[in-house]
Amino acid sequence: MPDTSQPISSLIRRAEYALENGGINTALGVVHDYVEQIITNPICTSHVFASQGLDALCLMIGRYNLARLTTYQAFYSAPLGSENAIVYVVSRLQRSGGHSRLVQDFIRAQPSKTHLILSTEVGGPSDHHYLSMRFAEEGNVQFMRAPSGNFKARLEWLQSMLLALQSEHVYLFNHHQDSVAVAALVPEIRLNGSFCHHGDHHLCLGVHLTHLTHLDFHPMGYHYCRSELGIINRYLPLTIEDRVATDSLSQFQKSAAELMTATAARYNKIELPYYVSYLDLIPEVLATTKGRHLHIGKLSPWGLRRLQANLSRRGIPSERLIYMEWTPSVWKSLEAHNVDIYLASFPYGAALTLIEAMGAGLPVIMHQHLYSRVLSCLELAYAGAFSWADPEELLCHLAKLTPERLQQEGVLARQRYEQFHKPQILKTYLAGEQQIKLSIPPLRKDFKPQWDEWAAWVDSQMTWSNLLRVKGFRALRSLRSFIRP
């Protein structure tokens, strides 16, 4: 485990010293462990996005390894039928999560191409059973994972595969801390490639790779990377398959009494230290609306118990909360449950599920994060979408909603989807970057960071019990250091 109290320059020197002595695995581990420490520190979330020094170090490690990779052709050959394939380098693929769906969207947008997914498995084991079933019906997709081994062995495998393939394009979809994936894609391999900036609310390796096209998938990330980090990037909005015809949007219930609300997000976006808890607020929402709430996304056993206990404390029948761990289509589930209005997740916004709700013609309610535009996702919503910072603002808004406003905002939501998020946009981009010209939504002027409130809340959390809780969480995440590759 790295000592994060030391300057990052000291950490880089330590990795360089290991590399000078042939310690490729050690150098990769130093980078991986440092980023792991930073992304598990809540204070750094949406404050620290990139490190030029760490990205340069990854390239140094990758070049060092590539210069000693002399036998790849003898041990690795291109998978059958994968010549000129589209290659996706990932850290891990799971059944749920926007990252996995984004890769599938890229594949779906190019049905005539051969697609090869190479997973380092540095982020943990992929859901191989699900992926096997998911891609079994598509003869043009192959999924390959790195053989078990340490970081160095995985880097050798990945660079060997990239050299053996004659790929048309490589898309880098690495997890934040995946030093192996970033080190592999050195310019000397001479590949056309793109860095897909999906690890967008934490420090992420690869942000400063200038030899790859930098793709940002939402306006907040695009403006920040360009204005604050000085990166020459491209805006490529997230797209979702259109699952309902415009003339059928009226099937959704549009009532103001006994509202059916919904949120789609897993525990990693809502069970986090923050001044207001989703698990505490949803019972208050139900008390206000007198209706029901659909939650889609796996909660931890602790989180689910807390939510149910809060319902019981308020005297709210448990059946008014509908809990679904997973669904193949958030869009269709919102439709099936006649949802009236979608509550964006907090403290971390979930972009893809928000877009699904707008595509389905649902009005949305956004949360203004105390300090982060990226975590708020305001710029993804249509102009005029209500946003709240004080929970009382949310409850008052829900109490005053009218059928007319629900209907009007539903139309605006669908229009927003059609303008920015239909699949044809991605297909056009992938067919030829020069064929697409997109307007980039500007930053909303009504976002006002509340740094003083954030400081006050952080100070209130500086107790021994809370500090020990954070230490325990980070220790649990770091268990992989004993069993990692």
pLDDT of residue 96: 65
Residue of 362, 365, 377 lying closest to 414 (CA atoms): 362
- Mean pLDDT in residue range 332-358: 96
Are 218 and 257 part of one and the same domain?
A: no
Q: What order do you get walking across the sheet with 86-90 strand by strand?
A: 141-145, 115-119, 86-90, 169-173, 193-196, 213-216, 233-235
Residue 240: inside a domain, yes or no?
A: no
DSSP 385: -
Residue 10: inside a domain, yes or no?
A: no
- Kindly state the helix (H) or strand (E) to which residue 22 belongs, with its residue range: none
Neighbours of 295 (CB within 10 A): 23
**Are the CB atoms for 297 and 325 separated by under 8 Å?**
yes
Is residue 432 left, alpha or beta, with left meaning phi > 0 and alpha meaning psi from -120 to 50? left
Domain final residue, candidates 213, 235, 257 = 235
As given in the structure block, the two tokens for residue 435 are 């064929």
The band of 481, judged by pLDDT with boundaries at 50, 70 and 90, is very low
Residue 154: inside a domain, yes or no?
A: yes
- Mean pLDDT in residue range 375-393: 96
CB-hemisphere CA count at 13 Å for 70? Answer: 2
pLDDT digits over 125-171, tens only?
A: 888 777 777 776 667 898 999 998 999 999 999 999 999 887 999 99
Residue 446: inside a domain, yes or no?
A: no
Are 216 and 348 part of one and the same domain?
A: no
Are 111 and 196 part of one and the same domain?
A: yes
pLDDT of residue 146: 92
Are 193 and 264 part of one and the same domain?
A: no
**Are the CB atoms for 174 and 88 separated by under 8 Å?**
no
pLDDT digits over 204-255, tens only?
A: 999 999 999 999 999 999 999 999 999 999 999 999 999 875 444 444 455 5
Are 367 and 252 part of one and the same domain?
A: yes
Are 267 and 378 part of one and the same domain?
A: yes
Are 189 and 255 part of one and the same domain?
A: no
Residue 8: inside a domain, yes or no?
A: no
The band of 124, judged by pLDDT with boundaries at 50, 70 and 90, is confident
Domain final residue, candidates 185, 213, 235 = 235
Please indicate, yes or no, whether the overall pTM of this predicted structure exceeds 0.95.
Answer: no
- Mean pLDDT in residue range 434-460: 82
CA distance 143 to 122: 15
**Which single residue is written with the structure tokens 């210069």?**
67
- Sequence-separated (6 or more) residues with CB below 8 Å from residue 53: 8, 9, 12
CA R_g for the chain: 23
Q: What angle do CA 417, 420, 423 make, to 5 degrees?
A: 85
User: Does residue 102 have a pLDDT over 60?
Assistant: yes
User: Does residue 475 have a pLDDT over 90?
Assistant: no
Are 67 and 135 part of one and the same domain?
A: yes
pLDDT digits over 206-218, tens only?
A: 999 999 999 999 9
Average pLDDT, the chain: 87
Kindly report the CATH number assigned to the domain that includes residue 373. Answer: 3.40.50.2000
User: Does residue 343 have a pLDDT over 80?
Assistant: yes
The band of 120, judged by pLDDT with boundaries at 50, 70 and 90, is very high
DSSP 336: H
- Mean pLDDT in residue range 48-63: 95
Burial of 140 (0-12, 13-18, 19+ CB in 10 A): middle
Are 107 and 230 part of one and the same domain?
A: yes
Whether residue 237 has a cis bond before it, omega within 30° of 0 = no
Are 353 and 460 part of one and the same domain?
A: no
Residue 112: inside a domain, yes or no?
A: yes
pLDDT of residue 41: 83
Are 402 and 343 part of one and the same domain?
A: yes
pLDDT of residue 93: 87
Residue-range definition of the domain harbouring residue 464: 451-483
The percent of residues above 90 in pLDDT, for the chain, comes to 66
Q: What order do you get walking across the sheet with 341-343 strand by strand?
A: 321-324, 292-296, 260-264, 341-343, 364-367, 386-388
pLDDT of residue 472: 53
Residue 192: inside a domain, yes or no?
A: yes
Domain count, the chain: 3
Are 91 and 164 part of one and the same domain?
A: yes
User: Does residue 78 have a pLDDT over 80?
Assistant: no
Kindly report the CATH number assigned to the domain that includes residue 61. Answer: 3.40.50.11720
**Are the CB atoms for 193 and 186 separated by under 8 Å?**
no
Residue 268: inside a domain, yes or no?
A: yes
